[in-house]
Structure 1
Amino acid sequence: MHDAQADAGWSWNDRARQPWATLSSWLVLSGESLATGKTLHGWPVMAIPVRYGPFALQLICHKRLNSSLRRTGDRAGRYQYLVLPLARVSGIESPALQAPDAPNYFADAWAARFYVEAALHASLPRDSLSLVVNSAPGRSQDQSHIHVDCIRPDVRATLRHLLPAITGQWHPLSDPLPPHRHDYQARWVDGETLAVDPFKVLAEALPHGDTMASHSLVVVGAYSPDGHPGFILLSGHADPARGDRGSGDELQDLDCTITMHPGL
């Protein structure tokens, strides 16, 4: 049995009390602070004093209490947060994400998972949490954003079953994933933290003629079969003919019911 709090080295309670201990270069906003008319790339924000570091590139928005964000068309979750670049970045297809000096937004989003835990008042094992960027056809906004939320229990169960066949190279999963039985490619990445940039890892593996715009990208915390921490990278491909818009957030559980069924 893995202890989520020990895995992370901190508790949601500790970090919620001292949010700037590790996020001093981020602007962190809750739903309550998004009730103004000011916008950043169309997203409502509020001007508040913030200690910016030299790489202040992220905005974390809590969707739970923000009606403006719910009206954008994204699925609104009680415990979901968004991580957005402060710079204008259109989406997964943006060349800016492939620049040598591009921030590892997924690594930063993983570090921000404690906001979900704070909203839940619970520490979660790493394989209960996920990060998602939708494809161009499957998104509602033309400003890149990463969904930070719980994974669906049936998706976690399927990934646990398939885990022995997931390697350090991209391969199609042998079974489609719930809830809509869409096909995904998968790759394993070792490590407690996300040392690779999933945007670049996916781009490097695309065959000639394929495009990033048609792909979703999902990062799920995981444990290897021998218990070591790591991540499962997943990528879906938009296929309108099959009713698949490439919306990786279909794998997330907006109600975080996995917290009520930790053994699933």
Structure 2
Amino acid sequence: MEAPKIARLSARRAAAVLIAVGCLLAGIDAGSALEISHRGLSLGPNDLWRVVTYVCGTTATVGVPYPCSDVTPATDREPGRATLVVGSGHVLTVPLRRMVGIEAPAFLAPESAAYWQAAWHARDLVAADAGRPLDRSEVALAVNSKMGRSQNQLHIHTACVRPEVVAAIEADRDRIGDDWVVLRRPIEGVLFSARRVTTPDLATVNVAALLPESIRRAPAAMARQTLVVVGAKFDHGRDGFWVLNVQASSRFQAHGESLLDFDCGRRP
């Protein structure tokens, strides 16, 4: 009966060594790697990439991808990605290939739907932190614009959604369809555009590719966009999503993350 225990201890010790090795390769100290997982993204603009690639990627070789929750290697069918809890009710999905942000051309490729699907699955980690089941309409995903991000590696945020965001969507529920429309109620002082997605998950939906072609064809325009995806329930019990978009301006840096609620576990 002792063999499994010894194996676990060996794995933990190996992981500790590999964390140190990974941090050495990444050029950061172990404290910085752990700070990203415990306190959020408050470090240098390339530290998320370094932690996911060198630290999580290294420790995953012994089955303990700490400080990430999960590392999924790339296959012939899907790109690799890592899942990282960065604070209370806040999870990141990070590609294992270098993609600077929303403007990366590869983010528009069909296979990038796997990142959105992984981010949607990460809602289970948010629910675990909240200590209660979460309805899909309580959960949102967000990608910030170049102006509104702190890290130079693409990542999708998963958390609860702020109630006022849901209220703005519900006020225009009957107007939102398969084409973009401008919401009439401002969020964060600006008017977002919205459209719906009528699939129950995002396995085959690359949300970034839903943006108008005039934006998708211009990397400079893509860099100014933020995308927020909110779980939805449509008529007759159909599951789907609301997708919100706005462009960075002098009034708003297109920081879609600000529409998320990291304290939903404390709400009654």
Q: TM-score if structure 1 supplies the norm length? A: 0.72
CA distance in 2, matches of 1:59, 1:235: 25
Unaligned runs of 5+ in 1: 1-31, 65-77
Name the residue aligned to 1:260.
267
Paired residues for 1:42-61 under 5 Å:
42-43=50-51, 45-46=55-56, 47-48=59-60, 49-50=62-63, 52=73, 54=75, 55=78, 57-61=80-84
Name the residue aligned to 1:115.
125
Amino acid at match of 2:200: E
CA distance in 1, matches of 2:235, 2:167: 14
CA distance in 2, matches of 1:208, 1:94: 11
Residue 106 of structure 1 deviates from its aligned partner by 1.0
Q: What SS class does the counterpart of residue 63 from structure 1 fall into?
A: strand
Q: 1:202 to 1:190 in 2, by over 3 A?
A: same
Q: What SS class does the counterpart of residue 182 from structure 1 fall into?
A: coil
Amino acid at match of 1:115: L
Structure 1 residue ranges (4+ consecutive) displaced by more than 6 angstroms after TM superposition: 207-210
1:201 to 190, 207, 210: 210
Is 2:152 aligned against 1:153? Answer: no
1:82 to 92, 106, 111: 92
Contact 2:80-2:97 within 8 A present in 1 as well: yes
Is 2:85 aligned against 1:62? Answer: yes
CA distance in 2, matches of 1:208, 1:63: 32
Name the residue aligned to 1:236.
246
Paired residues for 1:1-264 under 5 Å:
34-35=33-34, 41-43=49-51, 45-46=55-56, 47-48=59-60, 49-50=62-63, 52=73, 54=75, 55=78, 57-64=80-87, 78-177=88-187, 180-194=188-202, 195-202=204-211, 204=213, 206=215, 211-240=221-250, 243-256=251-264, 260-261=267-268
Amino acid at match of 1:193: D
Q: 1:82 to 1:98 in 2, by over 3 A?
A: same
CA distance in 2, matches of 1:226, 1:188: 15
CA distance in 2, matches of 1:114, 1:191: 19
Q: Which structure has the highest helix share of the two?
A: 2
Amino acid at match of 1:160: E
CA distance in 2, matches of 1:192, 1:208: 28
Residue 89 of structure 1 deviates from its aligned partner by 0.5
Name the residue aligned to 2:15.
none
The structure with the largest alpha-carbon Rg is: 2
Amino acid at match of 1:246: A
Residues 87-121 of structure 1, C-alpha deviations (whole Å, 9 max, x = no match): 11100000111234445311221122101111112
CA distance in 1, matches of 2:74, 2:106: 20
Contact 2:176-2:194 within 8 A present in 1 as well: yes
Contact 1:92-1:212 within 8 A present in 2 as well: yes
Residue 201 of structure 1 deviates from its aligned partner by 1.1
Unaligned runs of 5+ in 2: 1-30, 37-46, 64-71
